[in-house]
Structure 1
């Protein structure tokens, strides 16, 4: 319980108590926390004190207030530095998380002239299309689509579930991705994307478009990542 004789204000004590419950995992992500009235009654403080404690937690990003629904423990935001050229799997490792993937499609397709120019391939040449659903700790987090020059068609015979494409490329062909030109924008989830990422249709997604180059400055792939915008935080 809280110590009313402590020099630390009661709202700060309650804030710290709730923070410990969240950070220890006692209160799970997306779990609804007690109302301010219930908190006030349980910890024997005023509703104003409880409201102040919850508001401070919201400013920290530990809880989210949803109009008409209550206050919920915020889901963890994963960090990623866009200046680093690393795989999705490596980014997960740096966040202390486990990456996963499920192959959606892997096939040869006819590409438009823009893609062929970006890949520095002749008109009319087919490209390898690979689409995967990426997971973090078992939770669907991104839809990843990459277009490779046909010279990488050996990937058709690879099992790409639960594997890092960067690792496969290095092992099979000695190719290392060294440079990536990226653009970042916001889009809204379509019905299909929403179903795959388990979000509401129209939810904000982060769209990253990239052209990746090898250490020899040769195009490796043109790709897009559609990422759950509520769960990721980027630095540059």
Structure 2
């Protein structure tokens, strides 16, 4: 309970109580917390005091206010450093989580001239298209679409549900992805993307388009990642 005779302001005491409940797991991610009016009644403080405590938690990123819906415990965000070129599996390992994949498509398709030029394969006609749904601790986070030249056609026979693509490339062809060029945009979830990522249609997503290069500065693949931005934090 709050110490009303103590030197620490009541709103700070209430903030710390709620913070400990969140960090201990007593309050779960996405759980709705009581309104400021109900918090004020529960802890016998003013609504202004309860509001100050909640606003501090918002500033810390521990809770989030959704207009017309209430205040919710924020879901954990996973950190990815965009200055590094590492696999999704490695990003998960660095975050202390478990990576997962579901292969959605893996097939040869006809490529347009621009795609072949970006892959530096202007004389070819077909490319290998691979689409996977990527999971973090069994939660779908990313829709990943990659286009490879025919030089990497061996990928069609690999276990892309359970193995890191970067590891397969290194093992099968000695190719190491060492750099990439990227553009980042905001997009809205289509009906299909919303179903795959288990979010609402029209929810904001991060769209990363890239070309990955080997240590020899040769294009390895053209990539598109559609990411649930609510669960990802990027650093540079």
Q: TM-score, normalised by structure 1?
A: 0.96
Q: Secondary structure at the match of 2:171?
A: helix
- Cα offset, 1:49, TM superposition: 0.9
1:109 aligns with 2:109: yes
Superposed, 1:9-158 pairs within 5 Å as: 9-158=9-158
Long gaps (5+) in structure 2: none
Displacement over 4 Å in runs of 4+: none
1:96-145 deviation per Cα after TM superposition (whole angstroms, max 9, x unaligned): 21111100000111111111001100244211100000011111101000
Equivalent residue of 2:230, what SS?
Answer: coil
Distance 1:61 1:206 in 2: 19
C-alpha distance in structure 1 between counterparts of 2:220 and 2:69, whole Å: 47
In the alignment, which residue of structure 1 is the partner of 2:171? 171
User: Structure 1: which 5+ residue stretches go unaligned?
Assistant: none
What SS does the aligned partner of 1:162 have?
A: coil
Q: What secondary structure, in the 3-state scheme, does the structure 1 residue paired with 2:65 have?
A: strand
Tell me the secondary structure at the aligned position of residue 135 of structure 2: strand
Which residues of 2 match residues 142-221 of structure 1 at below 5 A? Answer: 142-221=142-221
Q: Is the 8 A contact 1:111 1:125 kept in 2?
A: yes
Inter-partner Cα distance in structure 1 for 2:124 and 2:169: 24
CA distance in structure 1 between the aligned counterparts of 2:51 and 2:179, rounded to whole angstroms:
48
Structure 2 CA distance for aligned equivalents of residues 152 and 40 of structure 1: 62
The residue that corresponds to 2:226 in the other structure is 226
How many matched pairs? Answer: 236
Q: Aligned equivalents of 1:24 and 1:231: distance in 2? A: 20
Q: CA RMSD in A?
A: 1.1
CA deviation after TM superposition for structure 1 residue 178, in Å:
0.6
2:209 is paired with a residue whose SS is: strand
SS at match of 1:86: coil
